[in-house]
Structure formats: C-alpha cells, structure tokens
C-alpha cells in the first residue's frame, strides 16, 4: 500500500492533512471537528465511545456508523447508557457489534458519571491532562505520534477509575479528536484554527 501524501489539495483549493484522503465523510470530519475543542460532556462521551469502538478498525469505519451509534446510544446520554444491557445492542446493525466494546461503553458510562460527580464535569477532569502547545507544528504524517506522555498519564488514571478501551493510543486519538491537542500539519488550512468553521 502506497504511503499517503502529507498534504492533499482538495477540489476546493484547500490543503488538508493527507490522512483524510478524499472520502467526503473523512474530509468533513477533518475540516469541522478534528482538533476543535469540545465544550460539552455529552460530546466527550460520544468520542470516548467511538474511539473505543474504533480499536482495531479504521476511523472511517466508525464515522460511517456514527448515526447508528447516536440512535442506539440515545444521543450518547451517559445516564441512559449506564443502565443498558448488551442484548439489544448486539443485535443492532447500525453499530459495531463486538461484545467487549459494547460492554465497555456501558461500563465507561458508569465511570464517566462517577468522574462528573467528583470533578463537576468530565471536561474539567480531561483538560487536566491536556499538554501545552507544541514548540513547532509537525510537518509530516510520519511525525504524528501514536501516544504521548500526556496520553500515558490520562490512560493510567482512567484505567484506575474503571474505564475500559482507554489505552494510551486510543486516548491520544481522543485528545486529537476533541482538541486537547492540535495535530493539523504545517500547511494544512485548519492548522491553528480552533473553531469548527471550515
């Protein structure tokens, strides 16, 4: 398989990080969500569930099932998800029907609610693990890390609190997705832009 170019020029004349390719779903995600700070706990819970579901799969596979997840998980309401059983979810073709991942989403909802009670919000808890900005923006896909000391610490603490599918690689992807880090490459039109407006 050929390596992806670091930057791609879109038909709209904008340079984008090469990982998003040309798929419209991936391009829209890159342009409006990836690296944009998430303000609400419900959206953070959504990304936590989706990143866990992605383990071993492509992110595009998960994005294309996102509407199915939103329906099956009641709009990612952690209070409702915490009370779920697995039987109905494992029959739902709109999500990835992996028993461990489904069980993890329910267990993580319970742990998520415990963090909210302790810290006032999951966002406040998560932001404590956000690293400072990089000294220089990365210029190639090869430089994008799979994890970091911050995601190592975040993962260790979340595991201690009873979360599952929160290894350091999954949590680094979560940090990228939710704007805890901005890994848009130098030359990407989104680099340094913190709003979701493309």
Q: Look up 11 and say whether it is catalytic.
A: no
Distance separating alpha carbons of residues 86 and 1, to the nearest angstrom:
37
Distance separating alpha carbons of residues 88 and 72, to the nearest angstrom:
9
DSSP class per residue in 7-53:
EEE-TTS-EEEGGGTT-HHHHHHHHHTTTPPP--HHHHHHHHHHHHH
Q: Which of 59, 69, 125, 172 is catalytic?
A: 59
Q: Which two tokens stand for residue 49?
A: 């569930």
Are 16 and 26 contacting, i.e. CB atoms less than 8 angstroms apart? no
Q: Which of 19, 29, 33, 84 is catalytic?
A: 29
Q: Look up 59 and say whether it is catalytic.
A: yes
Q: Phi first, then psi: what are they for 13, rounded to 5°? A: 85, 10
Q: Is the dihedral of CA 7, 175, 103, 90 positive or negative?
A: negative
Q: Which of 51, 69, 125, 172 is catalytic?
A: 51
Q: So which residues are the catalytic ones?
A: 29, 51, 59
């Amino acid at each position: 398989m050929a390596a992806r170019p670091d930057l791609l020029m879109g038909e709209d004349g904008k340079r984008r990080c090469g990982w998003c390719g040309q798929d419209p779903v991936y391009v829209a995600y890159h342009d409006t969500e990836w690296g944009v700070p998430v303000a609400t706990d419900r959206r953070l819970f959504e990304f936590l569930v989706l990143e866990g579901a992605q383990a071993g799969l492509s992110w595009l596979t998960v994005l294309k099932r996102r509407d199915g997840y939103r329906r099956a998980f009641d709009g990612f309401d952690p209070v409702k998800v915490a009370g779920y059983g697995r039987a109905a979810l494992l029959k739902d073709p709109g999500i990835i029907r992996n028993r461990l991942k489904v069980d993890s989403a329910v267990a993580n909802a319970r742990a998520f609610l415990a963090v909210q009670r302790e810290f006032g919000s999951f966002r406040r808890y998560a932001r404590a693990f956000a690293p400072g900005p990089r000294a220089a923006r990365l210029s190639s896909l090869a430089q994008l890390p799979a994890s970091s000391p911050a995601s190592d610490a975040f993962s260790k603490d979340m595991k201690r609190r009873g979360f599952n599918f929160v290894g350091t690689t999954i949590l680094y992807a979560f940090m990228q997705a939710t704007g805890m880090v901005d890994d848009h490459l130098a030359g990407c039109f989104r680099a340094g832009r913190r709003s979701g407006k493309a």
